[in-house]
Amino acid sequence: MNRLADLAIALLLVGCATPGAPTTDREQPELPPFAKPAGTPRSPRVGFVLPGAPAGGLLAVSLLPNAGLRPGDILVSRNQTLVPTALLQVEELQGHIAVVKRLRGQPGTKDEAVLPTAELRKAAETLPLASPSS
Protein backbone atom coordinates (compact mmCIF):
# COMPACT_ATOMS: atom_id res chain seq x y z
CA MET A 1 0.00 0.00 0.00
CA ASN A 2 2.90 2.36 0.75
CA ARG A 3 4.20 1.78 -2.72
CA LEU A 4 0.86 2.85 -4.25
CA ALA A 5 0.70 5.94 -2.04
CA ASP A 6 4.27 6.90 -2.96
CA LEU A 7 3.47 6.48 -6.67
CA ALA A 8 0.34 8.66 -6.35
CA ILE A 9 2.26 11.42 -4.55
CA ALA A 10 5.03 11.29 -7.15
CA LEU A 11 2.51 11.60 -10.00
CA LEU A 12 0.83 14.57 -8.32
CA LEU A 13 4.14 16.34 -7.83
CA VAL A 14 5.25 15.69 -11.40
CA GLY A 15 1.90 16.85 -12.76
CA CYS A 16 2.13 20.13 -10.84
CA ALA A 17 5.63 20.84 -12.13
CA THR A 18 4.86 20.13 -15.79
CA PRO A 19 5.56 23.17 -18.00
CA GLY A 20 2.68 24.24 -20.18
CA ALA A 21 0.09 23.46 -17.57
CA PRO A 22 -3.11 25.40 -18.19
CA THR A 23 -3.17 28.83 -16.66
CA THR A 24 -6.09 30.65 -15.14
CA ASP A 25 -7.25 34.16 -15.97
CA ARG A 26 -5.72 35.41 -12.73
CA GLU A 27 -2.27 34.42 -13.93
CA GLN A 28 -2.61 36.36 -17.19
CA PRO A 29 -1.18 39.88 -17.17
CA GLU A 30 -3.85 42.53 -17.39
CA LEU A 31 -3.84 44.51 -20.62
CA PRO A 32 -4.45 48.23 -20.67
CA PRO A 33 -8.00 49.10 -21.78
CA PHE A 34 -6.75 50.50 -25.11
CA ALA A 35 -4.83 47.36 -26.13
CA LYS A 36 -6.25 45.46 -29.08
CA PRO A 37 -5.52 41.93 -30.28
CA ALA A 38 -3.19 41.56 -33.25
CA GLY A 39 -5.03 42.03 -36.53
CA THR A 40 -7.77 44.19 -35.01
CA PRO A 41 -8.42 47.17 -37.29
CA ARG A 42 -7.62 50.54 -35.81
CA SER A 43 -10.70 52.06 -37.45
CA PRO A 44 -13.55 49.60 -36.89
CA ARG A 45 -16.02 49.24 -39.76
CA VAL A 46 -19.60 50.13 -38.83
CA GLY A 47 -21.27 49.84 -42.23
CA PHE A 48 -21.38 50.71 -45.93
CA VAL A 49 -22.57 53.76 -47.84
CA LEU A 50 -25.79 52.91 -49.72
CA PRO A 51 -26.35 53.97 -53.33
CA GLY A 52 -28.68 56.85 -53.99
CA ALA A 53 -28.59 60.55 -54.65
CA PRO A 54 -28.01 62.59 -51.52
CA ALA A 55 -30.98 64.66 -50.44
CA GLY A 56 -29.92 67.90 -48.80
CA GLY A 57 -26.48 66.48 -48.08
CA LEU A 58 -27.93 63.44 -46.29
CA LEU A 59 -26.90 59.88 -47.16
CA ALA A 60 -27.78 56.43 -45.87
CA VAL A 61 -25.29 54.01 -44.35
CA SER A 62 -26.23 50.36 -43.93
CA LEU A 63 -25.00 49.43 -40.45
CA LEU A 64 -23.39 46.20 -39.36
CA PRO A 65 -24.91 44.48 -36.31
CA ASN A 66 -23.81 46.01 -33.01
CA ALA A 67 -22.41 49.15 -34.64
CA GLY A 68 -23.21 51.07 -31.45
CA LEU A 69 -23.61 54.49 -33.05
CA ARG A 70 -25.39 57.53 -31.65
CA PRO A 71 -26.55 60.74 -33.32
CA GLY A 72 -23.63 63.14 -33.54
CA ASP A 73 -20.96 60.45 -34.02
CA ILE A 74 -18.38 61.18 -36.71
CA LEU A 75 -17.65 58.59 -39.40
CA VAL A 76 -15.23 58.48 -42.31
CA SER A 77 -16.01 56.69 -45.55
CA ARG A 78 -13.11 54.91 -47.27
CA ASN A 79 -12.74 53.32 -50.68
CA GLN A 80 -11.29 49.85 -51.36
CA THR A 81 -7.73 51.16 -51.05
CA LEU A 82 -8.60 52.63 -47.61
CA VAL A 83 -8.30 56.23 -48.82
CA PRO A 84 -10.78 58.52 -47.03
CA THR A 85 -13.52 59.75 -49.35
CA ALA A 86 -15.82 61.69 -47.00
CA LEU A 87 -16.29 62.96 -43.47
CA LEU A 88 -19.79 62.11 -42.22
CA GLN A 89 -21.87 62.90 -39.13
CA VAL A 90 -24.66 60.64 -37.89
CA GLU A 91 -27.93 62.57 -37.85
CA GLU A 92 -30.47 59.83 -37.17
CA LEU A 93 -30.65 56.07 -36.65
CA GLN A 94 -33.48 54.06 -38.21
CA GLY A 95 -32.97 50.39 -37.34
CA HIS A 96 -29.92 49.17 -39.27
CA ILE A 97 -29.71 52.39 -41.29
CA ALA A 98 -27.88 55.53 -40.24
CA VAL A 99 -28.86 58.79 -41.88
CA VAL A 100 -25.64 60.77 -42.13
CA LYS A 101 -24.78 64.32 -43.12
CA ARG A 102 -21.89 64.75 -45.52
CA LEU A 103 -19.53 67.33 -44.06
CA ARG A 104 -16.60 66.97 -46.48
CA GLY A 105 -15.72 64.98 -49.57
CA GLN A 106 -17.89 62.68 -51.68
CA PRO A 107 -18.32 59.03 -50.68
CA GLY A 108 -18.55 56.41 -53.35
CA THR A 109 -21.27 53.80 -53.49
CA LYS A 110 -20.38 50.86 -51.27
CA ASP A 111 -17.52 52.70 -49.56
CA GLU A 112 -17.06 51.40 -46.04
CA ALA A 113 -17.94 53.65 -43.11
CA VAL A 114 -15.61 53.48 -40.12
CA LEU A 115 -15.12 55.06 -36.73
CA PRO A 116 -11.97 57.04 -37.48
CA THR A 117 -8.70 57.24 -35.61
CA ALA A 118 -7.37 60.75 -35.03
CA GLU A 119 -5.07 60.40 -38.05
CA LEU A 120 -7.86 59.20 -40.36
CA ARG A 121 -10.19 61.98 -39.21
CA LYS A 122 -7.46 64.55 -39.81
CA ALA A 123 -6.96 63.19 -43.34
CA ALA A 124 -10.73 63.34 -44.00
CA GLU A 125 -10.85 66.93 -42.75
CA THR A 126 -8.58 67.93 -45.64
CA LEU A 127 -11.21 66.85 -48.18
CA PRO A 128 -13.22 69.60 -49.94
CA LEU A 129 -16.24 70.97 -48.08
CA ALA A 130 -19.59 69.47 -49.02
CA SER A 131 -21.66 71.79 -51.16
CA PRO A 132 -24.95 72.85 -49.51
CA SER A 133 -27.06 71.82 -52.51
CA SER A 134 -25.95 68.18 -52.60
The pLDDT value recorded for residue 12 is: 66
Three-class secondary structure assignment of the chain:
CHHHHHHHHHHHHHHHCCCCCCCCHHHCCCCCCCCCCCCCCCCCEEEEECCCCCECCEEEEEECCCCCCCCCCEEEEECCCCCEEEEEEEEEEECCEEEEEEEEECCCCCCEEECCCHHHHHHHCCCCECCCCC
pLDDT, tens digit (0-9, with 9 covering 90-100), for 112-129 = 999 999 999 999 999 999
The pLDDT value recorded for residue 117 is: 92
- Tell whether pTM > 0.85: no
* Residue boundaries of the structural domains of the chain: 45-124
Task: Indicate the fold that domain 45-124 takes in CATH.
Answer: Thrombin, subunit H (2.40.10)
pLDDT at 38 over 60: no
The pLDDT value recorded for residue 109 is: 86
